[in-house]
Structure 1
């Protein structure tokens, strides 16, 4: 054992007690201590150091500390470390930490030991950051020190400090080239602990691993690839891995299963229409170059075909050597395996992208495609040049009269236990329930009808039957029928058997083949009245069949007799068309057609969408103008009605005021009659005031209020008529706007509760027994004073004549000016009526509040829609590549598919 090992394990004392195994080390060291003291030049440090170790081993930590404190030679750093260890054992952790920090040494082992002890101490004191620093320093100082990296890894994992764990694993993997550390790192990657680390961080690591073990390299790369998916660093990773593979230049002979899979999946993601071509230009060339290098046998054709497809559109992107290699690989590939799934994925990508951009193909196209994708039936299309014979065959197969010679629609007949008919145009799909409606629509409209009902023949033979208008009709009819030719698995052309086959009939069939070269076309000679055993008929049939086979060598020809009552021969003929036909292979051809058609259609749809947005903006602007006009009209109406209603009410109030101002003085003057000869002139003012107030209240209750109530009721009825006129206007306005919106958008209802509130308030103000406050009309300063003012000095002379006094007092009452009293009484009575009049404008505003709110809300919604559409329009015009680039990518996908499936043939330029 080396000296440092002894010092680490605290067994240095064995060097001093060697040969004295039978004696206790304390005794042996004590004897050595005494002998050393007897020397002229003593050095007791070694013995004391050894004694400290023995005491420590026997847990006499204080004595050990005492011994180690007196070490002053080269062992002093170890003694300081041991003192710290003893204090650690005594649980004096702060003191231990101080001693550990005092150690100064050139020994790497001692430094590591101190760091490991501090690491343990800090964990115990819950100073985890300091513990992490200690173990990191230990690893950095001497990563080969026993267990130091294992301790670090365990600690980092326990503390969930995977950043440090990843750093440790990467460093150790590169340093040791041990597969263990690569496996540890791969575990971290799969757990997601590296997803936020820049991909360039792993470059040296991956280069190292590639040189060591290719299988482990592929596994780690696949794990990193998965971890960066759905991550902001994904494209950095793609760039980094492609640069790395270009540098290492992997051998094609290796079986890169996982890596080839990752490259293929990523390529499909890049090609799904999400990314612009300018963004892909930094990735696609290197991606394809590397994919072709590492592709498995099953993926080699896909990778090389992708190279050729991209090279057709962007020849400057790829090296000539890469393109040449791709051509060689395509030429060497086995093309017997058709890649049907690829074209389906391409089509779904196009369709999904189109839907995300609101580029609708139209309901009819969607219905045809859904039928193609969802159906496992054999689609038989029946057509011909003679409508009556074609209709006859269709009805025979259906077992009922379902079509006529004058049909203009294309009808898809399918078996289903439940009858269900849908009429489908480009704009909409609707269900109809009456069979007569179906027949009428089929005759009069050029549309698509999907008819499901119990049809035994179709059910028995797993057939779907397509009945189209005649192809001899106008060009538009042909255009409408062509998409169904690609839905069909086979076409049955019904011929006129009453005469020899004409060139016009064969020309129609040839034109169909020009449109759909792969579509099997067979012929049926209908209504043969004579038995086919008749020699003339047989010769005629042979001649017709020979002519058909001149143009259609593989066509089947069948002579259908009207005497085939149970359709057995016809059914056998149909079954012969189905036998041996691969639905899967046909679907591939159909989907390829619709994929190409969709790519051609979508640019037009984008223009239509742009025009639609422009038209929508214009429509919204026009609607805002109309709505603004309605608001102004409503505001004028509100002002007009408010003026009329307030004016009429003011007339009533003014009339009442005038009547009171005229009648009250007379009522008061008439009270002079109350003065009699026996009147008590001292209290006459009380009597007069009581009677005057009584007569005023009676007059108001019995005369004024009834007339007022009647006139106000007439006013309310008139106001209700004015409001009704407004409601009629607003109702007409609502209908007009809702027709423009094509929905129940506006409901310009007014608040007629205002009238109920008015009736309630008027009833309260005009009911009987209104008690006004008591007015003092004749002052209480003594009625005699009133008389004295009138009679002057005569009062004394005629004081004994009561008759004269009575007359004079009466005259004073009658001649008094009651204008101010009448005004005060009238003001008091009119106060509620006038306050009510002031609230009329507010109530009329409430009546119109909802229509104003509805119109303003509609204006705001139209403004918001204009803003949103203008933003969409600006985006479309500012970034046209958002629409054009995905279509280019889909075009490349289709070209790749065609290279894959027709590489042994000449692949023509994409059109």
Structure 2
């Protein structure tokens, strides 16, 4: 029976040859000849076989010729083989057409045709068709030998990772073959897997979880790693949580790799990178699942995370999970579960997040920096004694101590002296204590303090305690910063009521600290009762608070071994205690940020209101200045014009008389033929003389007086502007406004008026040469009768009478208008010139108003942002609080500070 495998391999011809030969063509030829001799020959099988041999020897045309004659049950295979031949001849379109015409019910033939079409498409560069046909083939006949491997290699070659991953997942679920898991791991290592949304992996993962939990953990771990830096991480965790919650897991199951990923992702979610809205529904399920399979090293950490989250977001985690977490915490040792790196990383995360919007107090950062140096201890040096500074100088042996006695000072070892002032904003180096600002600033004095170097400690000194509110606050902060306390008792009345209250307060806040007391012994007590008796008395009074208190006497006759004291007070070095301090200041930082956020909103409201009030004042001042400019300009102009009007009226009244007086110039010697010309010249001369000698001096004097009054007016305005600037500067608290005026204005006016009154330049006026009837008659008579004696005298009299009786009002008005014209031009410029005097103050007010409007807009936008989206600030604080409380649970087993953040 012929196998389809022989058709696939084109070895059907071997069934027709009795013995294997090197010359199958000859053997088939002989067989063909023998078959042809039969009465009913069947040559089809031999022709089919001959086609195979011709194909084998690459005689594709001969092979096609042989196969084309096949009509029996071998026809489908013959047609497929013809297409194979055309494929070898690279006649792709012909081959494709023939392949598609092959009709068969044989799965093998159908699959082989599909595979050959696939090869054709690959050779022809038709990737889309190749993908389609190979996908169809593996869907229909996945068990066909080599087809899935062929598809995998093809998908990898064309980098079609979606199909490659789908194939691997589907084949694993179909065959349970581990090699497909290895392939998916390889894709994970190459970071190919994030092309799919997480939900597309769930059927595959669900199947694997039921089949093999070990491989499930490994592949989930790999996939998770790929999603870590992707936007789909949230969806991945959501889908994985859902899958695990729906799955039954053994009670003793422990997944080390997945536990690590849950820890890592939990910390990432709480880092401030994600909003609370994004993770609020995910975290409770994440914690519930994590509790089910957390490895032993993580289990208590996970339990603390559950309790911390449930404390900040009550009721979001189911009671069973909370109960398991409580039980785990109750029955676990918490020592060493958190370290400096975790608290340091948490504080750093808070600072990094906060400083995108506001600054964390530099003091807090400085304190944390010192606490995180766990190689060195911090000893608080305090008390109520006036001798505290003297004793501290004795300890450190440094003259600078007395200069810093009123400061909060931290002394540390450094070979070369260095003085750092630490305030809320910055840490800056200063040259001497005299440069240090507020008393609530820290001073870090570094220098060659050999004793501190030997004991590997720093001394925190605060001024002698007097019981003020500020001192109580400062003492509390520094107690939480210190590892141990050296307390200098009051030398005059040790353990008085105030001192006992202070010591009780310190013991309540730092009951796990090592306390050592220094007792200054008065000389009188030393001489009368002795040091031992005096100390025993004090120790007895101190016993109710400190039963085993160490007290060292400080006397003028007995030196204190400070090396021994520092060694004693720091003998119990404890990282645990230092971690508690870091947690305290992390909590304080969160409180600080919340308070600063509220303060920022209040300040924005205040600054908006202040700027609006300032805008109203500035705008009002600007309007007042405009009104003042208009008022002063009109007044100065009116005063000036009044001078011109008064003198103009005088000129118009006097000019006719001046002109009439020229009649006296007509004498017997006057030439009547030209007398009108002479009179015209005389009239112009006398008018100019009148204006020069009479009007101009009066005008000059009046204008000088006007200049003087203007100067006084402008000085008053300057005083008004100076007062306005002082008022505004007082409101701003800085020397912002000056309102300078144009001092050149008065100088220019004095120069211009001086130039105007320097002389008269009157145009020649035609008075006697007008063509009115009387003048024409006189001029004509004069020329006609000039030589007749008796007529001459008569004409002279007529001329005199005419000059003396003529109406010169129009001439006077013309002269006045001509003379005062330049002065009126000056008057027209007064208002404009005054603008330059006010220009700089007006510009300053205008620019200030524009700046205020811009600031108000900016502040209102900031306020709106704060008020419209308060969760943008509050949510990260809550998430940081979860981390803080988790560490607090890890450290103490239950929160020591019940105050909510």
| Alignment TM-score > 0.5, same fold | yes
Shift in alpha-carbon separation, 1:65–1:446, aligned structure 2, 3 A = closer
Give 1:521 shift.
0.9
Shift in alpha-carbon separation, 1:23–1:62, aligned structure 2, 3 A = closer
Residue number in structure 2 paired with 1:391: 389
Are the aligned partners of 2:14 and 2:20 in contact in 1 as well (CA < 8 Å)?
no
Residue number in structure 1 paired with 2:662: none
- Counterpart Cα distance in 2 of 1:311 and 1:174: 39
Q: Do structure 1's residue 866 and structure 2's residue 856 form an aligned pair?
A: yes
Are the aligned partners of 2:376 and 2:457 in contact in 1 as well (CA < 8 Å)?
yes
Are the aligned partners of 1:169 and 1:182 in contact in 2 as well (CA < 8 Å)?
yes
Residue number in structure 1 paired with 2:371: 372
Shift in alpha-carbon separation, 1:155–1:427, aligned structure 2, 3 A = closer
Are the aligned partners of 1:388 and 1:404 in contact in 2 as well (CA < 8 Å)?
no
Give 1:296 shift.
1.8
Shift in alpha-carbon separation, 1:834–1:326, aligned structure 2, 3 A = same
Q: Secondary structure at the match of 2:608?
A: helix
- Counterpart Cα distance in 2 of 1:712 and 1:49: 134
Residue number in structure 2 paired with 1:681: none
Please, which runs of 5 or more residues in structure 1 have no aligned partner? 667-676, 678-707, 778-788
Residue number in structure 1 paired with 2:316: 317
- Counterpart Cα distance in 1 of 2:780 and 2:534: 156
Give the count of matched residue pairs: 880
Shift in alpha-carbon separation, 1:28–1:536, aligned structure 2, 3 A = same
Residue number in structure 2 paired with 1:577: 569
- Counterpart Cα distance in 1 of 2:85 and 2:817: 108
Residue number in structure 1 paired with 2:117: 115
2:579 pairs, out of 579, 588, 596, with: 588
- Counterpart Cα distance in 1 of 2:832 and 2:3: 106
Residue number in structure 1 paired with 2:15: 15
Post-superposition Cα deviations, 1:859-883, rounded to whole Å, max 9, x if no partner, equal 4443344344444444544555555
Residue number in structure 2 paired with 1:228: 227
Are the aligned partners of 1:119 and 1:135 in contact in 2 as well (CA < 8 Å)?
no
Alignment of 1:221-260 (within 5 A): 221-251=220-250, 253=252, 255-260=254-259
Alignment of 1:46-65 (within 5 A): 46-65=45-64
Q: Secondary structure at the match of 1:248?
A: coil
Q: Secondary structure at the match of 1:562?
A: coil
Are the aligned partners of 1:417 and 1:453 in contact in 2 as well (CA < 8 Å)?
yes
Q: Do structure 1's residue 551 and structure 2's residue 553 form an aligned pair?
A: no
Are the aligned partners of 1:116 and 1:138 in contact in 2 as well (CA < 8 Å)?
no
Shift in alpha-carbon separation, 1:333–1:2, aligned structure 2, 3 A = farther
Shift in alpha-carbon separation, 1:761–1:256, aligned structure 2, 3 A = farther
Residue number in structure 1 paired with 2:152: 153
2:888 pairs, out of 895, 898, 902, with: 898
Q: Secondary structure at the match of 1:610?
A: helix
Are the aligned partners of 2:51 and 2:67 in contact in 1 as well (CA < 8 Å)?
yes
Post-superposition Cα deviations, 1:147-178, rounded to whole Å, max 9, x if no partner, equal 44344334433434333333333333333333
Give 1:356 shift.
4.7
1:516 pairs, out of 504, 507, 510, with: 510
Residue number in structure 2 paired with 1:617: 608
Are the aligned partners of 1:122 and 1:131 in contact in 2 as well (CA < 8 Å)?
no
Residue number in structure 1 paired with 2:335: 336
Alignment of 1:133-212 (within 5 A): 133-212=132-211
Shift in alpha-carbon separation, 1:35–1:827, aligned structure 2, 3 A = farther
Alignment of 1:443-522 (within 5 A): 445=439, 448-495=442-489, 505-522=499-516
Are the aligned partners of 2:514 and 2:570 in contact in 1 as well (CA < 8 Å)?
no
- Counterpart Cα distance in 2 of 1:562 and 1:303: 59
- Counterpart Cα distance in 1 of 2:890 and 2:358: 31
Give 1:181 shift.
2.8
Are the aligned partners of 2:583 and 2:888 in contact in 1 as well (CA < 8 Å)?
no
- Counterpart Cα distance in 2 of 1:762 and 1:110: 116
Give 1:449 shift.
3.8
- Counterpart Cα distance in 1 of 2:740 and 2:127: 72
Deviates most, 844-853 or 501-510: 844-853
Are the aligned partners of 1:26 and 1:54 in contact in 2 as well (CA < 8 Å)?
no
Q: Secondary structure at the match of 1:244?
A: helix
Post-superposition Cα deviations, 1:606-657, rounded to whole Å, max 9, x if no partner, equal 4323322221121121122123223323443555577689889999999999
- Counterpart Cα distance in 2 of 1:763 and 1:129: 99
Are the aligned partners of 2:467 and 2:498 in contact in 1 as well (CA < 8 Å)?
no
Q: Secondary structure at the match of 1:195?
A: helix
Shift in alpha-carbon separation, 1:433–1:33, aligned structure 2, 3 A = same
Shift in alpha-carbon separation, 1:719–1:166, aligned structure 2, 3 A = farther
Shift in alpha-carbon separation, 1:119–1:765, aligned structure 2, 3 A = farther
Shift in alpha-carbon separation, 1:338–1:260, aligned structure 2, 3 A = closer
- Counterpart Cα distance in 2 of 1:353 and 1:218: 34
Are the aligned partners of 1:408 and 1:447 in contact in 2 as well (CA < 8 Å)?
no
TM-score of the superposed pair, with normalisation by structure 2: 0.76
Q: Secondary structure at the match of 2:463?
A: coil
Residue number in structure 2 paired with 1:5: 5
- Counterpart Cα distance in 1 of 2:644 and 2:58: 115
Post-superposition Cα deviations, 1:831-887, rounded to whole Å, max 9, x if no partner, equal 999999999988987887776666455444433443444444445445555555545
Are the aligned partners of 1:412 and 1:465 in contact in 2 as well (CA < 8 Å)?
yes
- Counterpart Cα distance in 1 of 2:647 and 2:46: 132
- Counterpart Cα distance in 2 of 1:263 and 1:791: 129
Give 1:239 shift.
1.1
Give 1:15 shift.
3.0
Residue number in structure 2 paired with 1:25: 25
CA RMSD in angstroms comes to 6.1
Q: Secondary structure at the match of 2:411?
A: strand
Give 1:56 shift.
2.7
- Counterpart Cα distance in 2 of 1:619 and 1:294: 59
- Counterpart Cα distance in 2 of 1:757 and 1:14: 126
Residue number in structure 2 paired with 1:327: 326
Are the aligned partners of 1:100 and 1:118 in contact in 2 as well (CA < 8 Å)?
no
Q: Secondary structure at the match of 2:315?
A: coil
Q: Secondary structure at the match of 2:489?
A: strand
Q: Secondary structure at the match of 1:173?
A: helix
Are the aligned partners of 1:77 and 1:104 in contact in 2 as well (CA < 8 Å)?
yes
Please, which runs of 5 or more residues in structure 2 have no aligned partner? 659-670, 672-698, 767-775, 804-808
- Counterpart Cα distance in 2 of 1:900 and 1:613: 39
- Counterpart Cα distance in 1 of 2:100 and 2:755: 98
Post-superposition Cα deviations, 1:364-420, rounded to whole Å, max 9, x if no partner, equal 5554444434575322222233x2232321121132455669965433333445555
Q: Do structure 1's residue 413 and structure 2's residue 389 form an aligned pair?
A: no
Are the aligned partners of 1:560 and 1:570 in contact in 2 as well (CA < 8 Å)?
no
- Counterpart Cα distance in 2 of 1:132 and 1:835: 95
Alignment of 1:367-766 (within 5 A): 367-373=366-372, 376-385=375-384, 387-402=385-400, 409-417=407-415, 419-421=417-419, 433-435=431-433, 445=439, 448-495=442-489, 505-527=499-521, 537-538=531-532, 540-541=534-535, 544-545=538-539, 548-549=542-543, 551-564=545-558, 569-582=561-574, 584-636=575-627, 639=630, 737=728, 740-741=731-732
Residue number in structure 2 paired with 1:785: none
Q: Secondary structure at the match of 1:21?
A: coil
Q: Secondary structure at the match of 1:470?
A: coil
Are the aligned partners of 1:410 and 1:481 in contact in 2 as well (CA < 8 Å)?
no
- Counterpart Cα distance in 1 of 2:201 and 2:119: 32
Shift in alpha-carbon separation, 1:354–1:28, aligned structure 2, 3 A = closer
Residue number in structure 2 paired with 1:694: none
